Amino acid sequence: MQRVLVMGSSGSGKSTFARRLSAMTGVPTVSIDALFWKPGWVESDKNEFEHRMIAAAREPRWIMDGNYMRYGAGELRRELSDTIIWFDLPRSTCMLGIFRRIAGSYGQVRPEMAEGCPEKIDLEFFRYVWTYRQQQRPRLLDYFKGLRADQALVCFTDRVQADDYLESVARRQNRASIN
């Protein structure tokens, strides 16, 4: 795994997973949110964001955390990735995830966010997560149709599967370091 996309709903655990996978493999993380947002929760200009995403996608190794398929070099990222990790978790899990995240980091900038974008209560964001399976999931399924046979798609439907996957990566890393 040299270029990994970690995708799914907000609150699913993809950022935590990406950081943990990066720590195990040494492959650097790229937070798409950090590339997109400017201080004060201001959206980047589409062209500016596109250029940042293209530059990041052309790096030789990355674990990219986030979706942003409609622009931001979505096709290029899919084309260059060798592995796609998809968190296809239930709405209740994701909603609980964002509520816990807000409770634990309200007013603070999370590691995967841009500077000047502290955690906040945002009803529009809640609505986005609430409707994710109906609105965004079909777009992801269409996006995945463009994968090649040599690309791996790993789907998690619960967080235990993600933890098990990370344990298997750790075991492979340990075996590789022994040999």
Quick: pLDDT tens for 8-48: 999 999 999 999 999 999 999 999 999 999 999 999 999 99
Extract the tokens encoding 76.
């290029």
**Closest to 46 in 3D by CA, of 65, 66, 80, 73:** 73
Q: How many CB atoms lie within 10 A of CB 87?
A: 25
Domain assignments of the chain as residue spans, ordered by start: 3-166
Class of the domain covering 3-166: alpha beta
What secondary structure letter does DSSP report for 148? -
Residue appearing with tokens 């789907």: 155
Q: What pLDDT is stored for residue 60 in this prediction?
A: 97
pTM score over 0.95: no
Q: What pLDDT is stored for residue 179 in this prediction?
A: 66
Query: Distances from the Cα of 175 to the Cαs of 154, 168, 169, 179, in angstroms?
Result: 22, 11, 10, 6
Work out whether strand 42-43 and strand 37-38 pair parallel, antiparallel, or are unpaired. antiparallel
* 3 state DSSP class of 16: helix
**List of the chain residues with pLDDT < 50:** none
Q: What pLDDT is stored for residue 174 in this prediction?
A: 80
Extract the tokens encoding 136.
């965004």
What secondary structure letter does DSSP report for 40? T
Confirm if 47 and 116 have CB atoms less than 8 A apart: no
